[in-house]
Amino acid sequence: MKPRPKISGTLLALGWAVAVAVAPGCGRSTGTKTAEPGAAPAQRLTIGVSLMNLSNEFIVMLHQAMLARAGELGVALIVTDAQRSAERQVQQVESFIAQRVDAIILNPCEVEASAPAVDKALAAGIPIVNVNSETRTPPTAFIGSRDEESARLAMEYIVQRLGGRGNIVMMHGFMGQAAQIKRDRGAREVLARHPDIKLLADQTAEWDRAKAMSLMENWIQAYGEKLEAVFAHNDEMGMGAVIALEQARLKPKVIVASVDAIADALQAVQDGRLDATVFQDAKGQGGGAVEAAVRLARQETCAKEVFIPFQLVTRTNAGQFLQTVSRP
């Protein structure tokens, strides 16, 4: 009986390795916008985009803003989803470099672990723009908002509503992510300035609404009447807290503030269920990132850092934001 040749097995393995290496680059090309009919082919720029996680509503809004702006400017986007993995993000950027794109837009997963992507792009001479979050290596340009500011806005609002004294609990996002670290820092700055505001407890609910609900229910059991305010790092968790408090009939007594201004939260603010949210301008960030990338690709001047301000949303101004945020 002849032995099966070993060569085919090795070839198969090699071919598979090649496919895997190329795949992330091809990945979820969820939006390859073609150029306007009038644009000359030589002028059409290609920009590679690596987004942190397309299962996150804010990132989805960022994505749509980018597509819209790219359509207006007549550039092509290759969009990939890193699905929260910094490693995958680095691979995606490497494929962009191999494809010789004109510029890269990076929505980083992590401050440290996504930095190699920036290093590689800079080494290859391709301009790279960070949007929304930072990496340790400074990119060619940064478009985003200062997360500390968002936390500060929300916390200041709570302090003001409580009249300078009271008990508060804080819900964190995924520990270690840039947004969580920054918002925690911002919140603690405000706490330091107001010693009569006491932080009873803080825990992570991992950006998740259901986890936040359970956590809130348990806090209600633990602290009962002592609870006066809740600050959540994002709206999903804020909504979870609101629902739990409503069921325990502790609303509207307990004040809840969170960050993001997703559609659900804006509606809740207008209805008086959620006390405040902080608007993060996805359109401004997404559109701004595309603009910056295009300018850099055309070797025009571009500001190194653009900080788009957050805006506090309360019942008074919720209506105008509702109109700007598109509903599904």
Residues at the contact surface with other proteins, assessed by CB under 8 A:
1-4, 54-55, 57, 60, 201, 203-204, 208-210, 213-215, 217-222, 224, 236, 239-240, 243, 246-247, 263-264, 267, 327-328
Q: How far apart are CA 220 and CA 305, in angstroms?
A: 42
Could you tell me where the DSSP H helices lie in 84-224? 86-98, 115-123, 147-162, 178-193, 209-223
CB nearer to other proteins: pick between 60 and 122: 60
What is the SS3 string spanning 197-257?
Answer: EEEEEEEECCCCHHHHHHHHHHHHHHHHHHCCEEEECCHHHHHHHHHHHHHCCCCCCCEEE
Query: Shortest Cβ distance from residue 222 to other proteins (Å)?
Result: 5
* Opening angle at CA 134, ends 97 and 28, nearest 5: 45
Nearer to other proteins, 146 or 223 (CB): 223
DSSP 309: P
Residue located via tokens 């229910």: 217
| Closer Cβ to other proteins, 236 or 291, answer by number | 236
Residue 28 vs 44, nearer CB to other proteins: 28
Q: Between 43 and 55, whose beta carbon lies closer to other proteins?
A: 55
| Shortest separation between residue 236's beta carbon and other proteins, angstroms | 8
Smallest gap from residue 29 Cβ to other proteins (A): 15
Distance in Å, CB of 127 to other proteins, minimum: 28
Token representation of residue 296: 């850099």
Question: Are the beta carbons of 181 and 247 closer than 8 angstroms?
Answer: no
Nearest-approach distance from CB 303 to other proteins, in angstroms: 31
